[in-house]
Amino acid sequence: MESLQHLEAQLLEALKDIKTDAALNDIKAQYVGKKGHLAAAMQTMKTLPAEERPAFGQAVNALKTVLLNHLDSHQKALNEAAMMARLEQEVIDVTLPGVPFEQGSKHILSQIIERIEDLFIGMGYLIKEGPEVESDLYNFEKLNLPADHPARDMQDSFYIDEHTLLRTHTSPVQVRTMLAYGGEKPVKIICPGKVYRRDDDDATHSHQFMQIEGLVVDEKTSMSDLKGTLLEVARTMFGADREIRLRPSYFPFTEPSVEVDVSCANCEGQGCSICKQTGWIEILGAGMVHDNVLKDAGYDPTKYQGFAFGMGVERIAMLAYKIEDIRHFYTNDQRFLTQFKDDQGGLEE
Amino acid sequence: MNVSLKWLKEYVAHQATPDVVAQKFLEHAQEVAHVKPLSTVQGLKVGHVLSCEKHPNADKLSLTQVSLGDETLSIICGAPNVAADQKVIVAPVGVTMANGLTIEKVMLKDYPSEGMICSLEELGIDKKYHGEEGIHVLAQDAEIGADALAVMQLDDVVMELDLTPNRADLLSMFGVAYEAAALLEAPLTIPYPTIEESLLSNPMKISTQTSRCEAYYGRVLDTIEIRESPQWLKSRLIASGVRPINNVVDITNYVMLETGQPLHAFDYDALGSQEVVVREATEGETFKTLDGHIRQLKAGDILITNGNVPIALGGVMGGFDSEVETTTRSVLLESARFHPTSIRHTSRRLDLRSESSMRFERGVDPQKTRYALERATALLVQYAGATVREGIAYFDHYERKDALVELSLSRINRVLGTQLTVTEVSALLERLRFSHEPGECFYVTVPTRRQDIQTEQDLIEEVGRLYGFNQLPSTLPKLNTLGGLSPKQRRFRQLKNRLNTLGLHEAVTYALVKKETLSRFTFASSADAVQLKNPLSEDRQVLALTPLNGLVDTLRYHQSRQMTDTAFFEIGKRYTTNEENDILGLALANDALTHWQGNQAHDFYRLKGLVDHVLALYGLTATYQAVTHESYHPYQCAKIFLGDMHIGHLGALHPSVAKTYDLKHVFLAEINLTQCELHKRVNAPYVPISKTPIIQRDLALVVPKTTSAQRLIDVIEQLELTHFKDVEIFDVYEGEPLKDTERSLALRLRFNNPQKTLETAQVDEAIETVLKALKKSLNITVRDA
Ligand SMILES: [Zn+2]
């Protein structure tokens, strides 16, 4: 029995030098193998008196479990050491650059349009689009711009033929929508899109630019509603502290007509070079839809009324980001495009 | 319109500062371009030149002693026209001149100078208004020591209004006065001229042969003395931006500025008759205008004739032969009314746009035709020594009617979103001096000076602006509707976001392109292209058929700036005479960037992967067919098909084409998104995940290089095998031991029966069928292991 007890200590001692799986297997065979120490011990059981044999057998089996446990944990330790040795070979310099996932950019004009669209969608507007090659009828005539109106001079528009031109604003989409709505259904839309004016390109003029116009027509939408709506636009685009100012103006398709200024964010209204010392910057034109426009689109002006507004997207972007040249928007220089992260907008929770 | 605020005060009794006046106009009437003093120079005095001698040490300088009343200054003057006993404008030490320089005491060639004798230009009055060289000499009665600007009535502030086309009334000081009186709630006084006529009667006979002249009033004035106008009149003209000429011309201009009614003075003795006949010009007729040019006329131009020959181009310019000159003794003074459109056409065509034609174009108050004649007559009596012949010769066919407009209080409030009362609205109309009967419905009589007001909506605008748009509450429309993006708009946003995430930058390029390049990068036919009638340049003449034109320019821009690693897209349009289709353009330039982990160059297949990715957004799978196009690599270009519908293409730009753009390794694709939208297969029904395993089998096939991979797939798919799921190509191999004409394609076929796990034998059988079919149709065999 003593020799049995001795086996465990002996194994633990032997394991101290075992560094490889092969050596461990040898030791395992020496102790618990068919010809190992335990097997030999079992052989001696025959020499014991019959009444001692069961106890001896149990003791050997218990010892076997103990030895196997030692061997197993040594195996685990060896595995772990081997893994560690292998991982050590796989050391990397974590400060080397990661594999780049090239990130593209959304054009700043798209970003501005999406922000304004989202604002208006939140207020229950639909987004309407229409053709850029437009008829004189929708671009001018039905907008209270009769044939002899100075704004229709050839200088201002690109003509395809006598009756067709590149739209000079997105207002024809409003006309088309009203006509489609049949003179009864209320209208609440914004119309973003490309428009064209026969201007030579320079820092502040572009023959092609983006516009967003809006139109609400029902039985009660008022000039005060226009003012509140435009205040939301100004605050979304230029900051929550902004105020707006309405100045009387003239457009053939609206009456009353106003030009809308936003308080200068650069100087907080104190006057600076950006606002030409006035504290205000003009951002858009607006007004109550002219009776003639409603009438021509099939809406009874004694019953229906509403507002319309229009703004240049480039102008908004130029003011919001202090961009100095409108041509940048169409040059698409990557170093320009990637400066505008699409992370603006949204309402505070 | 340049408004002299000093002049304005003659009509409107108010105490407001220039800034307050400007602010009121800006917020309630019209845009104010600027408010500036006529001269910024402060502290000028009237001086009396006591003595003037030549400077002993300088030829061109004079030594003067100038009395300012309480002191006498020694001033050295460089102007040749300075002389003793003149009354002059003196800037003493400390005065800052218009150019920003401040006068100091200086020594000039050993003599002191304690101030400056000024020219008008040094006060900031542009030479175009006076043409004076040297110092300005004041009238002898100028009070020594007085404020020189005040003496000259140049102590004025000018407010420049940017007028909108509807407010023709503000092209007159009277109109501005009515407006100012309304804005400032101040009393208004309009002068009424009285005239004493002589015993000689007006012999003129006046008639018209055209309805384009609606009224014509003429007076004859004798004993005219042509001379300089009084200083106050000259100063008012200067403040208004009009150059003084002589008393007769100045008075006609002054009255035009005052009333908005243009006038013309003819030299009566040069008329050649005692008759005025207005008629339309005949095509090709010529006429010498007072600037000495011979004008080619057209039918429709209005001519004033003496019954025989033309004497003026009506409303646009007078004639050379009847111009008022210094010798003129009698004048025919004309105040007439011409058709706006006719004046506009004539003045534009001849490029003769004047203060006069501008007013006729926009419309003149019909009440002022006769009034202006009388006002000018009275001034000519006073300032030109005129005597007035008895009677006015005239015709007047204009039907003058005050507009009676109904204005409903409830509509005002409904449109403006206000709660104005009858009393409040009545007060506003009162300020505008519109006579009216107050009530739930106002009956408003609109005076003829406001020709822009004809409807209830016009009046609501008047009420609204005077009340103040900035006084309106800020509310939102009460109209409740659903807002949102259309499915197409949603998809475009998704598409942009995805392409951004995949590393592509969105470009926005010009839709107008050069005609020659229309079909350069696309299969679309240029036959239906939309061409401008009046382009600004050849480069922007036709609407593009594909955004690829703009995208190639964008790539070129970047490559020429050493930015060769570029990937762009644009959702543009194909514009044709019948329709506009949304076209996605993809443009990749070879990735020169080498990451230390390896190179990820763009190539045909990378682009094709992008195309597949885009189509997947629409639930679509395309097929591809090799094609040729002169701008693309002859062996790396394919059309994209949905079934048998061609919806786009992709390819490597032909190296020689690329070279002409200074580009390298460019890959372009175009997808017609309008077609994708029409054929989209989104919202496929849900299929539960199969519980049985998917069995896959790989085949390595030796295929002639001339046989496309698509053909193999077509053959397999057409078999419509039971439980067949799909097939993909997962490897391509060329080289030993294969022949040069061959390649090996590795196909992975997948099978599944959701009801029951497939038996090996079933799959073996299917594979056998596939191999037989490939052998039979394409003579393709399995590659020996
Ligand atoms: Zn500012």
Q: What is the mean pLDDT of residues B476-484?
A: 95
Position B597 scores a pLDDT of: 55
Chain B nearest-CA residue for A245:
B470
Asked if residue B625 lies in contact with residue B639, where contact means CB atoms within 8 angstroms, the answer is yes
Judge whether residue A149 has pLDDT over 80: no
CA of B24 to the centre of ligand 1 (A): 21
The answer to whether the CB atoms of A207 and B512 lie below 8 A apart is: yes
Both tokens assigned to B595: 């990451």
Both tokens assigned to B522: 């696309």
Q: What is the pLDDT of residues A209-226, one digit of tens each?
A: 999 999 999 999 999 999
Task: Output the DSSP codes for B581-606.
Answer: EEEEEEEEE----EETTEE----HHH
- Please confirm whether the linkage preceding A256 is cis (ω < 30° from 0): yes
Which amino acid type is present at position B379?
Answer: L
Position B778 scores a pLDDT of: 86
CATH superfamily of A108-340: Bira Bifunctional Protein; Domain 2 (3.30.930.10)
Sort out which chain B residues have CB atoms less than 8 A from A224's CB and list them. Answer: 416-418, 472-475
Residues 6+ apart with CB under 8 A from B667: B586, B587, B588, B589, B590, B602, B603, B604, B606, B607, B650, B651, B652, B653
Q: What is the mean pLDDT of residues B296-303?
A: 94
Q: What is the mean pLDDT of residues B361-376?
A: 94
CA of A209 to the centre of ligand 1 (A): 25
Helix (H, G, I), strand (E, B) or coil at B2: strand
Residues 6+ apart with CB under 8 A from B63: B52, B53, B54, B55, B74, B76, B111
Helix (H, G, I), strand (E, B) or coil at B128: helix
Judge whether residue B225 has pLDDT over 60: yes
Asked if residue B27 lies in contact with residue B470, where contact means CB atoms within 8 angstroms, the answer is yes
CA of A244 to the centre of ligand 1 (A): 14
Q: What is the pLDDT of residues A188-208, one digit of tens each?
A: 999 999 999 999 999 999 999
Q: What is the mean pLDDT of residues A20-27?
A: 92
Nearest chain A Cα distance for residue B390, angstroms:
42
Q: How far apart are CA A189 and CA A176, in angstroms?
A: 12
Chain A nearest-CA residue for B507:
A332
- Nearest CA to B522 out of B549, B540, B542 is that of B549
- Nearest CA to B356 out of B471, B252, B504 is that of B252
CA of A316 to the centre of ligand 1 (A): 15
Q: Which of A247, A277, A326, A342 to mutate to test the interface with B (most CBs of B within 10 A)?
A: A247
Q: Which of A159, A224, A260, A328 to mutate to test the interface with B (most CBs of B within 10 A)?
A: A224
| A58 Cα distance to chain centroid | 71
pLDDT band with cut points at 50, 70 and 90 for residue B747: very high
Asked if residue B253 lies in contact with residue B173, where contact means CB atoms within 8 angstroms, the answer is no
Sort out which chain B residues have CB atoms less than 8 A from A205's CB and list them. Answer: none
Q: How far apart are the two ends of chain A, measured CA to CA in Å?
A: 79
CA of B3 to the centre of ligand 1 (A): 27
pLDDT band with cut points at 50, 70 and 90 for residue B102: very high
pLDDT band with cut points at 50, 70 and 90 for residue B782: confident
pLDDT band with cut points at 50, 70 and 90 for residue B425: very high
Residue A146 contacts B, CB cutoff 8 Å: no
Judge whether residue B85 has pLDDT over 70: yes
- Classify residue B257 by its DSSP letter: H
Both tokens assigned to A242: 């902004």
Q: CB burial class (10 A; 0-12, 13-18, 19+) of residue B764?
A: exposed
Facing residue for A250 by CB, picked from B165, B341, B418: B165
Alpha helices in A33-90 (DSSP H): 37-45, 53-89
Instruction: Determine which of B107-111, B177-181, B579-583 has the lowest per-residue pLDDT on average.
Output: B107-111
Percent of chain B with pLDDT over 90: 88
CA of A264 to the centre of ligand 1 (A): 5
The values of phi and psi at residue B280, to 5°, are -90, 145
Q: What is the pLDDT of residues A97-112, one digit of tens each?
A: 887 778 899 999 999 9
Judge whether residue B322 has pLDDT over 70: yes
Residue A338 contacts B, CB cutoff 8 Å: yes
Asked if residue B79 lies in contact with residue B119, where contact means CB atoms within 8 angstroms, the answer is yes
Bridge partners, B4 (sequence order)? B158
Asked if residue B125 lies in contact with residue B72, where contact means CB atoms within 8 angstroms, the answer is no
The answer to whether the CB atoms of A208 and B479 lie below 8 A apart is: no
pLDDT band with cut points at 50, 70 and 90 for residue B602: confident
pLDDT band with cut points at 50, 70 and 90 for residue B149: very high
Position B565 scores a pLDDT of: 82
Helix (H, G, I), strand (E, B) or coil at A113: helix
pLDDT band with cut points at 50, 70 and 90 for residue B784: low
Residues 6+ apart with CB under 8 A from B41: B91, B95, B96, B97, B98, B118, B122, B123, B124, B149
Return the axis-axis angle of helices B173-184 and B18-28, rounded to nearest 10°.
Answer: 90
Helix (H, G, I), strand (E, B) or coil at B5: helix
Position B399 scores a pLDDT of: 81
Which amino acid type is present at position A124?
Answer: G
Q: For the whole model, what pTM was predicted?
A: 0.89
The answer to whether the CB atoms of A99 and B595 lie below 8 A apart is: yes
DSSP 3-state percent helix, strand, coil across chain A (nearest 5): 40, 20, 40
Both tokens assigned to A234: 């100004």
Position A155 scores a pLDDT of: 58
The answer to whether the CB atoms of A216 and B479 lie below 8 A apart is: yes
Judge whether residue A347 has pLDDT over 80: no
Which amino acid type is present at position B436?
Answer: H
Task: Output the DSSP codes for B620-663.
Answer: ---EEEE---TTEEEEEEEEEEETTEEEEEEEEEPHHHHHHTT-
The answer to whether the CB atoms of A291 and B417 lie below 8 A apart is: no
Assembly ipTM? 0.90
The answer to whether the CB atoms of A159 and B532 lie below 8 A apart is: yes
The answer to whether the CB atoms of A160 and B530 lie below 8 A apart is: yes
The answer to whether the CB atoms of A124 and B464 lie below 8 A apart is: no
Residue A332 contacts B, CB cutoff 8 Å: yes
Position B599 scores a pLDDT of: 54
Q: What is the pLDDT of residues A263-307, one digit of tens each?
A: 998 888 888 988 888 999 999 999 999 999 999 999 999 999 999
Dihedral sign (CA B37, B40, B43, B47): negative
Which run of H or of E encompasses B72? Answer: strand B72-77
Judge whether residue B592 has pLDDT over 80: no
Q: What is the pLDDT of residues B537-549, one digit of tens each?
A: 999 999 999 999 9
Chain B nearest-CA residue for A256:
B461
Chain A nearest-CA residue for B462:
A256
Bridge partners, A279 (sequence order)? none
Q: What is the mean pLDDT of residues A47-63?
A: 86
The answer to whether the CB atoms of A221 and B478 lie below 8 A apart is: yes
Q: What is the mean pLDDT of residues B572-587?
A: 96
Task: Output the DSSP codes for B752-772.
Answer: --SSSPPPHHHHHHHHHHHHH
Q: What is the mean pLDDT of residues B376-395?
A: 96
Residue A205 contacts B, CB cutoff 8 Å: no
Facing residue for B558 by CB, picked from A120, A132, A334: A334
- CA dist B479 to A119, A221, A222, A234, Å? 16, 7, 11, 21
Facing residue for B414 by CB, picked from A220, A245, A257: A220
Facing residue for A305 by CB, picked from B26, B414, B507: B414
The answer to whether the CB atoms of A248 and B461 lie below 8 A apart is: yes
Q: How far apart are CA B40 and CA B155, in angstroms?
A: 9
Q: How far apart are CA A196 and CA A253, in angstroms?
A: 19
CA of A233 to the centre of ligand 1 (A): 19
Q: What is the mean pLDDT of residues B556-584?
A: 93
Strand spans (E) along B339-465: 387-390, 393-396, 403-408, 435-437, 441-446
CA of B384 to the centre of ligand 1 (A): 51
Asked if residue B433 lies in contact with residue B188, where contact means CB atoms within 8 angstroms, the answer is yes
Both tokens assigned to B263: 């006038």
Q: How far apart are CA B180 and CA B187, in angstroms?
A: 10
Percent of chain B with pLDDT over 70: 98
Residues 6+ apart with CB under 8 A from B334: B216, B217, B218, B263, B264, B265, B266, B276, B304, B312, B373
CA of A281 to the centre of ligand 1 (A): 8
Q: How far apart are CA B240 and CA B250, in angstroms?
A: 12
Which amino acid type is present at position B583?
Answer: I
The answer to whether the CB atoms of B483 and A122 lie below 8 A apart is: yes
Position B652 scores a pLDDT of: 95
Bridge partners, B495 (sequence order)? none
Position A148 scores a pLDDT of: 76
Residue A291 contacts B, CB cutoff 8 Å: yes
Residue A93 contacts B, CB cutoff 8 Å: no
In chain A, which among 156-175 make CB contacts under 8 A with chain B?
158-161, 166
pLDDT band with cut points at 50, 70 and 90 for residue A258: very high
Nearest chain A Cα distance for residue B551, angstroms:
9
- CA dist B785 to B488, B702, B782, Å? 51, 11, 9
The answer to whether the CB atoms of B469 and A223 lie below 8 A apart is: yes
Facing residue for B505 by CB, picked from A105, A229, A255: A105
CA of A263 to the centre of ligand 1 (A): 8
Both tokens assigned to B486: 């259309």
Dihedral sign (CA A81, A87, A88, A89): positive
The answer to whether the CB atoms of A228 and B29 lie below 8 A apart is: no
Nearest chain B Cα distance for residue A74, angstroms:
40
pLDDT band with cut points at 50, 70 and 90 for residue B272: very high
Asked if residue B191 lies in contact with residue B7, where contact means CB atoms within 8 angstroms, the answer is no
The answer to whether the CB atoms of B557 and A225 lie below 8 A apart is: no
The answer to whether the CB atoms of B417 and A125 lie below 8 A apart is: no
Return the axis-axis angle of helices A53-89 and A2-15, rounded to nearest 10°.
Answer: 0
Instruction: Determine which of A236-245, A303-312, B458-467, B773-782 has the lowest per-residue pLDDT on average.
Output: B773-782
- Strands B505-506 and B566-575, bridge-based pairing: parallel
The answer to whether the CB atoms of A227 and B30 lie below 8 A apart is: no
Residues 6+ apart with CB under 8 A from B10: B189
Chain B nearest-CA residue for A290:
B457
Which amino acid type is present at position B785?
Answer: A
Position B785 scores a pLDDT of: 54
- Nearest CA to B211 out of B276, B262, B280, B299 is that of B280
In chain A, which among 30-69 make CB contacts under 8 A with chain B?
none
- CA dist B74 to A216, A226, B53, B78, B195, Å? 73, 66, 11, 13, 50
Q: How many CB atoms lie within 10 A of CB B495?
A: 21
Q: How far apart are CA B717 and CA A27, in angstroms?
A: 62
Nearest chain A Cα distance for residue B402, angstroms:
22
Position B564 scores a pLDDT of: 83
Residues 6+ apart with CB under 8 A from B740: none
- Nearest CA to A231 out of B407, B767, B476 is that of B476
Q: How many CB atoms lie within 10 A of CB A142?
A: 23
What is the overall mean pLDDT for chain B? 93
Q: What is the pLDDT of residues B433-446, one digit of tens each?
A: 999 999 999 999 99
Q: What is the mean pLDDT of residues B709-713?
A: 91
Asked if residue B610 lies in contact with residue A104, where contact means CB atoms within 8 angstroms, the answer is no
Nearest chain B Cα distance for residue A346, angstroms:
15
Helix (H, G, I), strand (E, B) or coil at B198: strand
Q: How far apart are CA B59 and CA B54, in angstroms?
A: 7
Judge whether residue A154 has pLDDT over 60: no
